[in-house]
Amino acid sequence: MKLSLIDVSTLSSPKIVTSYTGAGFYTDAAYDFLAVRYLPESKKLIVPVSKSDYNGSGTYNYTDGFTVYDISDESITPAFDVIHSTTESYCWYDAMIPARSFVIQSELTTIKGHIAMSTEMKSGSVISKLDLDVGFNYTVCEPWLSYPIYYYENSGYDYGDEVVGASDNSTRI
């Protein structure tokens, strides 16, 4: 994931002022612009992030949540992380809440996947956390890395031959 601060004071020649790259990061903002929130008064940017780290012993550590960034005219700096979940075996299940955030009276509320959290904006300390998966039967979920293979092999999906439209005159792309 890469964040860039761009000077557009001269529209004909925009310039990148600074960038921040999170190695191993993925963000829902890549396909869902509502997932990101910018607070102009406090100059904070709230971005949903997922990160996978290889721990050197044959497994990956997965972290899911949000990162709050301090934004200035010259820099993008991580302020704190709001960690919703951390695990060695990421489980994919399609009944999840899209990443969203909002701030009321300096309390950040983030919602993503199966977790809702409240965090103090000044300190980054957790106020409360609600796990919506309490009592969830995990036998219905797919391991994250095997999901695309399972799905594509069992759905008859032909890579690169997607059908758009519902009639016999469908367009292939």
What is the full per-residue pLDDT of the chain (173 aa) written as tens digits? 889 999 999 999 999 999 998 877 888 888 899 999 999 999 999 999 988 777 677 667 788 899 999 999 999 999 999 998 877 555 556 667 899 999 999 999 999 988 899 999 999 999 999 988 777 666 666 554 444 444 444 444 443 433 333 334 433 33
The residues spanned by each domain of the chain are 2-158
- Rounded to the nearest 5°, which phi and psi values hold at 151? -65, -50
pTM for the predicted model, two decimal places: 0.73
pLDDT at 115: 87
Residue 133 CA to residue 131 CA, distance in Å, equals 5
How remote is the C-alpha of 166 from its chain's centroid?
A: 32
